[in-house]
Structure 1
Amino acid sequence: IGQGIEFDYCCCHAAFAMEDLGIESIMVNCNPETVSTDYDTSDRLYFEPLTIEHVFEIIHVEQSAGELAGVIVQFGGQTPLKLAGPLFKEQVPILGTSPESIDLAEDREQFAALLDKLNIQQAPSRTARSVEEAEVKANEIGYPVMLRPSFVLGGRAMEIARNDEDLRKFAAEALKVSGDASLFIDRYLADAIEVDVDAICDGKTVHVAGIMEHIEEAGVHSGDSACALPPFTLSADLQKRLGEQAAQLAMALNVRGLINIQFAVKDNEIYVLEANPRASRTVPFVAKAVGAPIAGIAAKVMAGEALSGFDLSNARPRRIAIKEAVFPFARFPGVDPQLGPEMRSTGEVMGWDDDFGMAFLKSQLGGGVRLPDEGTVFISVRDSDKKGAEEAARGLAQLGFTLLATSGTADHLESKGIPVKRVNKVLEGQPHIVDAMINGEVQLVFNTTEGAASLSDSASIRRTAVARKIPYFTTLAASLAAVKAIASMKSQEISVRALQSA
């Protein structure tokens, strides 16, 4: 798949924006499944691969026919973004954010230095260029650590390493795929809330388009995580601070157009994870949730228009919008559907309502997940989630569900006075949890794990859930959201509202 639908949306809006400004638009795209390759989207379409040779030839041909105002590389995701440097070297004008700024944000070492200068917090980090160096640096920071290669697509080869053995295994692969053979290692902020901020900057002012709170914790790729706009647990003060830091970064990086910044919030402290001075895959979602053509406005800003010329006073979230990722696991038998830092989703849907539970329910329905309104729920959670799992278990018991749990989780829930039936883990022998799932005795699965041993131990549970179409959640936050959704489903009718009148 050459390009995600979210970036296709941005490219189309950029072409329409150029038409508004009376500028001829030329689209280069090699994916036949997109709207941007429709004959009436742009003035001219080149159906060619996105390599520097092909793009440079196209520019050469077009320059002979008239003046080239510039090239937009920031709207098609990571692949065209990598062309910015080579095109710039050949004196091709790049519209919007300059290649130096793109490099500054992508090069994790330079970016860490910029954050220090701005006095913005980040998780302790180091850069390594070999497996041996990575091991030394990881021990300096302290495990668990996140390994992030530079200049990669969709979080490719990003991994969480919990010990030296993990690190050696993952670092070699990560160094292989890294665009500049370097590896960024930072402390993994366990149980932090991840937040995505999209903003538009014209060099003088910054408009924060949307602050999205992820429902999965930091460490799950942002393309795979469900998220809510407006945020559902962050205080107004925290949201204000997030907006201020996003604006500071956009100005420091000399952004012209869109920027996406990922933050982690832990114990009321804000840490910057990364910044991408380009359109992110959340732009279409934000545009719909706030009712403003964010991508089109950003394209006009890149072409030289001032932000002050657009009325963004009403561009605010009008209800609770939830974005949920859609996964292809059912098409790949035997794949473990556990979420992590490498992106695995192939699409997304949006649920919209006045009530968080109902919005989450709609997002699940849109993604093909039908939550049960009665039956048995299997709960097996890691130690750090046991306290949080009480709330989910109590809520489900009150809604009339039967609870099933493995020994550790069952002991904890019983000690809190929550009634629960016990079931064997797979390794404890039959009849075990997978048998119960195959026999149709389980209608919903909450399963969170950590550590390599328990991950592989519980993989058969998650695989069976996918194969049997049993709704399953692999993070505590998503499990709690599912309980709210079931409560909303049982207490009210699902309502439908037209997007235009919303």
Structure 2
Amino acid sequence: MSVELLTTLKRNGFSDSTIAAITGVEEEDVEQRRREIEITPSYKRIDTCAAEFESFTPYMYGTYETECEAEPTNQKKIVILGSGPNRIGQGLEFDYCCCHAAFALRDCGYETIMINCNPETVSTDYDTVDRLYFEPLTYEDVFAVIQRERGLGGEVACLVQFGGQTPLKLALKLQQAGVTILGTSPDSIDLAEDRKRFAELLWGLGIAQAPSGVATSREEAREVGTSIGYPVVLRPSYVLGGRAMAIVYDQTSLDRYVTEAVDASPERPILIDRFLEDAFELDVDAVADASGAVVIGGIMEHIEEAGIHSGDSSCVVPPYLVEERHLTTIRDYTRRIARALKVVGLMNIQFAIKDETVYVLEVNPRASRTVPYLSKATGVPLAKVAARVMAGASLEDLNLFSDLEVTGVFVKTPVFPFVRFPGVDTLLGPEMKSTGEVMGGALTFGNAFAKAQLAAGQQLPQSGTAFISVNDKDKKNVSKIASDLVALGFSIVASRGTAAYLRAQGVDTDLVFKINEGRPHIGDQILNGGVDLIINTPLGRDSFFDDLTVRRIAMLHGVPCITTLTGAAAAVSGIRAIQNEALTVRSLQQYHSEIVADGT
């Protein structure tokens, strides 16, 4: 390819990978050709003063022009890779981590550089870092910035842990190009993501994992599904937010979803796990240093049962239903896995408890979306701690000798955009739908849950009529919830099957028609203001017309609609707290001061 053509393509925004795809060569060949003829990007300063006077703001963007306005120094510098565009599954939680990492490193005397392509984030504010590059989070663009920053001989290292899954994918290639990756090594990152290697690691540690397999075709997926048994969870590897994930209960459903999973990550195989029905799920965030010391930031119990994406499930710290012996096992597993993976910095592990066995579901050697939540609950800025550890400090240097504790109860609740997207089903599943989160703190679980629901825009009713319609699998567990609602002053109406079951259990229940059974039906009752709370748990991802219509009507009319029984039980606790306790305001500083006073 001629110098003129390659220069024209680069000036018009063609990436090396795009040029390689068009010309049928490898991306590395295009990069090498560019460097041979010295076609490299220069960086211009964004004029924040509209040419009224000279701008000194260190906002840079890449272009293929001759003059470069970037002014790298010879100081020790650390490049932080941001999270990129906000989307479902990857939002401001990671931006929080990037900012706190930058603040901590600046306090330690490092020059901080942020690479991000989202001007809506705090990490792209003028005073967050010493220099900001508005560049795509691709290998080509990130490596070009690092090369420019190396210009005067300054030491340049890179952090990939704080921006979520996007920068994590670049770690191995950057290391192969000679970039120093601080914290957990790219090989350990790949080990945690590689299903076969990770399963061998857990087997060697004697830690249980749900039966699983890997497939690259429909035929292989069928074989895995048959061998490990249904139901199974399908998930593409290297994706965030549960994109294209599904729980399938038979081979027909598996065939239907395999194509979707492959499309989500075409260069990676499909991961298939046995779905642990009716299991408790928990999340753990921890920080480890190079010496092998591990401090657990918190163990968070999911309020929704297994099968709901962790980003869509409310969770509580400290756990309120899990037995202490299981928590002891979880702490032990967390430390052993962190040391086996040689984690330096943050790590997130998802656990499940079923039939008295603790299973490891997933390990992410990076910041998770729960880091800001735990940091506020404990009063310890975990992202700052992790950044300093990755820069060489030990946990002992930071006066962290034991796992973090909380005073009171803190509930995290997701915020959903259903009002803006009325066509989206409110039924929760393994694919993430929430776009934010809130936190409620109190001295009791019910009070904290009620506060969190209020903050999320969902006002729990104190009385009225509750409509209950659950699938056959859930019927055995719904009678206590219904009885509790009656004791709290609610009237119960239910669909035909649920009403018959509740009556047989001695719960006073009125029958209401489904939408296809004639009028007046449940939709009419909601429209007329006759329903104050809905508990609706259809089975599987494909809900029947009636259930979907009921949930949409409820959303449009502001009626709380709960789609899991564990969520319904938590709502009952919240309603009881509203009736019996005052929802008082208490600052985080008050909670944190009590932790200090206790000496923990």
**Contact map agreement 2:496 2:512 (CA 8 A) in 1:** yes
Partner of 2:511: 422
**Contact map agreement 2:149 2:156 (CA 8 A) in 1:** no
Letter in 1 for 2:279: A
Measure how far apart 1:227 and its partner are. Answer: 0.2
The SS at the match of 2:277 is coil
Give the one of 157, 177, 180 matched to 1:93.
180
In structure 2, distance between residues paired with 1:180 and 1:116: 27
Letter in 1 for 2:94: F
Partner of 1:197: 284
**Contact map agreement 1:150 1:179 (CA 8 A) in 2:** no
Measure how far apart 1:452 and its partner are. Answer: 5.5
**Contact map agreement 2:161 2:367 (CA 8 A) in 1:** yes
Partner of 2:110: 23
C-alpha offsets along residues 91-139 of structure 1, whole Å, 9 cap, x if unaligned? 1011100100100111122111111111110111111110111012101
C-alpha offsets along residues 430-472 of structure 1, whole Å, 9 cap, x if unaligned? 2221121112110110111213565444111111111111111
**Contact map agreement 1:256 1:301 (CA 8 A) in 2:** yes
The SS at the match of 2:123 is coil
**Contact map agreement 2:318 2:409 (CA 8 A) in 1:** yes
Asked if 1:364 is matched to 2:492, the reply is no
In structure 2, distance between residues paired with 1:384 and 1:392: 15
Partner of 2:366: 278
Asked if 1:478 is matched to 2:567, the reply is yes
In structure 2, distance between residues paired with 1:362 and 1:439: 28
Letter in 1 for 2:538: T
**Contact map agreement 2:95 2:121 (CA 8 A) in 1:** yes
Asked if 1:176 is matched to 2:263, the reply is yes
In structure 1, distance between residues paired with 2:340 and 2:266: 24
TM-score by length of 2: 0.82
Partner of 1:264: 352
Measure how far apart 1:424 and its partner are. Answer: 1.1
C-alpha offsets along residues 402-431 of structure 1, whole Å, 9 cap, x if unaligned? 111011111111112111111112232222
Measure how far apart 1:180 and its partner are. Answer: 3.3
- Aligned CA distance change for structure 1 residues 68 and 218 (closer, same or farther; 3 Å): farther
Letter in 2 for 1:143: Y
In structure 1, distance between residues paired with 2:550 and 2:337: 43
Measure how far apart 1:178 and its partner are. Answer: 2.0
In structure 1, distance between residues paired with 2:309 and 2:397: 35
In structure 2, distance between residues paired with 1:164 and 1:237: 37
Q: What is the Cα-based RMSD across aligned positions, in Å?
A: 1.3
Partner of 2:297: 209
Letter in 1 for 2:363: A
Partner of 1:250: 338
**Contact map agreement 2:441 2:448 (CA 8 A) in 1:** yes
C-alpha offsets along residues 9-33 of structure 1, whole Å, 9 cap, x if unaligned? 1001100110121111101111111
Runs in 1 of length 4+ with deviation above 6 angstroms? Answer: none
In structure 2, distance between residues paired with 1:282 and 1:430: 46
**Contact map agreement 1:407 1:423 (CA 8 A) in 2:** yes
**Contact map agreement 2:410 2:441 (CA 8 A) in 1:** yes
Aligned pairs for 1:400-419 (under 5 A) are 400-419=489-508
In structure 1, distance between residues paired with 2:425 and 2:152: 53
**Contact map agreement 2:348 2:368 (CA 8 A) in 1:** yes
Partner of 2:419: 330
Partner of 1:51: 138
Measure how far apart 1:315 and its partner are. Answer: 3.0
**Contact map agreement 2:231 2:249 (CA 8 A) in 1:** yes
C-alpha offsets along residues 172-191 of structure 1, whole Å, 9 cap, x if unaligned? 11112226330111110111
Letter in 2 for 1:483: V
Partner of 2:551: 462
Asked if 1:435 is matched to 2:524, the reply is yes
In structure 2, distance between residues paired with 1:451 and 1:30: 38
C-alpha offsets along residues 456-501 of structure 1, whole Å, 9 cap, x if unaligned? 4411111111111111110000100001100110112110012222
Partner of 1:353: 442
The SS at the match of 1:342 is coil
Partner of 1:68: 155
Give the one of 36, 39, 42 matched to 2:129.
42
Partner of 2:3: none
Aligned residues: 502
Partner of 1:319: 408
Give the one of 218, 226, 250 matched to 2:306.
218
- Listed as ranges, the gaps of 5+ residues in structure 1 are none
In structure 2, distance between residues paired with 1:235 and 1:179: 41
Partner of 1:294: 382
Seq. identity, %: 53
C-alpha offsets along residues 17-72 of structure 1, whole Å, 9 cap, x if unaligned? 10121111101111111111111111111111111111111101111134234100
**Contact map agreement 2:412 2:439 (CA 8 A) in 1:** yes
- Aligned CA distance change for structure 1 residues 40 and 66 (closer, same or farther; 3 Å): farther
